[in-house]
Structure 1
Amino acid sequence: MKKLLASAVLLGLSSPQMVQAAEEVNVYSLRQPFLIEPMLKEFTDETGIQVNVKFAKDGIAEKLAQEGEYSPADVILTVDISRLAELSDKGLVQAVDSDVIDKNVPAQYRDSDDEWFALTLRTRSVYSSRERVGRLPASFDYLDLAKPEWKGKICTRSGKHPYNISLVSSMIAHYGEAETKTWLEGVKANLARKPQGNDRGQVKAVKEGLCDLAIGNSYYLGNMLSDENQKSWAEAVYINFPGQQANGTHVNISGMAMAKYAPNKANAQKLMEFLTSDKAQHMYAEVNFEYPVKVGVERSELVASWGDFKADTLPLEKVAEYHNAATKLLDEVQFDL
Structure 2
Amino acid sequence: MPSRRPTRAALAGVAALAVTAPLAGCGVLGIGGSNADLQIYSARHYALEGAFKDFQDETGISIEFISGNDAELLQRIKAEGADGEADVFMTVDAGNLWNAAQQDVLKPLQSPALDKAVPADLRDSENRWFGLAMRARTTTYNPDKVKPADFDPKDTYAGLADPKWKGRLCMRDATSAYTQSLVASLIGLEGREKTLEIVKGWVANGVQIKSNDVELIKAIDAGTCDVGITNHYYVARELKKNPNLKVKLYWASQQGAGTHVNISGAGVVKTSDNAAQAQQLIEWLATKGQSAFVDGNHEYPVNPDVKPEPMIAKFGEFKRMPLSAEAYGSQNAEAVELLAEAGYK
Q: Same fold (TM over 0.5)?
A: yes
Aligned to 2:230: 216
CA contact (8 A) 1:192 1:211 kept: no
Mark the structure with the bigger radius of gyration: 1
1:66 aligns with 2:79: yes
The one-letter amino acid of 1:323's match is N
Q: Distance in 2 between matches of 1:286 and 1:253?
A: 14
Aligned to 2:240: 226
Among 283, 302, 310, the residue aligned to 1:301: 310
CA contact (8 A) 1:81 1:252 kept: yes
Q: 3-state DSSP class of the match of 1:309?
A: coil
CA contact (8 A) 1:106 1:294 kept: yes
Among 22, 29, 51, the residue aligned to 1:39: 51
Aligned to 1:143: 158
The one-letter amino acid of 2:299's match is E
CA contact (8 A) 2:171 2:228 kept: yes
May I ask how many residue pairs the two structures share in their alignment?
309
CA contact (8 A) 2:139 2:227 kept: yes
Q: 3-state DSSP class of the match of 1:35?
A: coil
Once the two structures are TM-superposed, the CA of residue 138 in structure 1 deviates from its matched residue by 7.0
Q: Distance in 2 between matches of 1:48 and 1:163?
A: 36
Q: 3-state DSSP class of the match of 1:101?
A: helix
Once the two structures are TM-superposed, the CA of residue 93 in structure 1 deviates from its matched residue by 1.7
CA contact (8 A) 2:185 2:324 kept: no
Aligned to 1:77: 90
Once the two structures are TM-superposed, the CA of residue 105 in structure 1 deviates from its matched residue by 0.4
Moved more, 255-264 or 132-141: 132-141
The one-letter amino acid of 1:46's match is E
CA contact (8 A) 1:23 1:48 kept: no
Q: Distance in 2 between matches of 1:226 and 1:209?
A: 20
Q: 3-state DSSP class of the match of 2:128?
A: coil
The one-letter amino acid of 2:282's match is M
Q: Distance in 1 between matches of 2:153 and 2:55?
A: 43
CA contact (8 A) 2:122 2:323 kept: no
Cα-Cα RMSD: 1.9
What TM-score, normalized by structure 1, do the two folds share?
0.86
CA contact (8 A) 1:28 1:76 kept: yes
1:174 aligns with 2:162: no
The one-letter amino acid of 1:332's match is E
Once the two structures are TM-superposed, the CA of residue 268 in structure 1 deviates from its matched residue by 0.6
1:238 aligns with 2:248: yes
Identity %: 34
Q: 3-state DSSP class of the match of 2:136?
A: strand
Q: Distance in 2 between matches of 1:280 and 1:117?
A: 14
Q: Structure 1 residues 126 and 176 mapped into 2: Cα distance closer, same or farther (>3 Å)? A: same
What TM-score, normalized by structure 2, do the two folds share?
0.84
Q: Distance in 2 between matches of 1:219 and 1:314?
A: 18
1:99 aligns with 2:119: no
1:121 aligns with 2:134: yes
Q: Distance in 2 between matches of 1:311 and 1:170?
A: 12
Aligned to 2:266: 256
CA displacement, residues 88-122 of structure 1 (integer Å, 9 cap, x when unaligned): 12222221221111111010101101111100111
Q: Distance in 1 between matches of 2:265 and 2:118?
A: 10
Gap runs ≥5 in structure 2: 1-33
Q: Distance in 2 between matches of 1:315 and 1:90?
A: 18
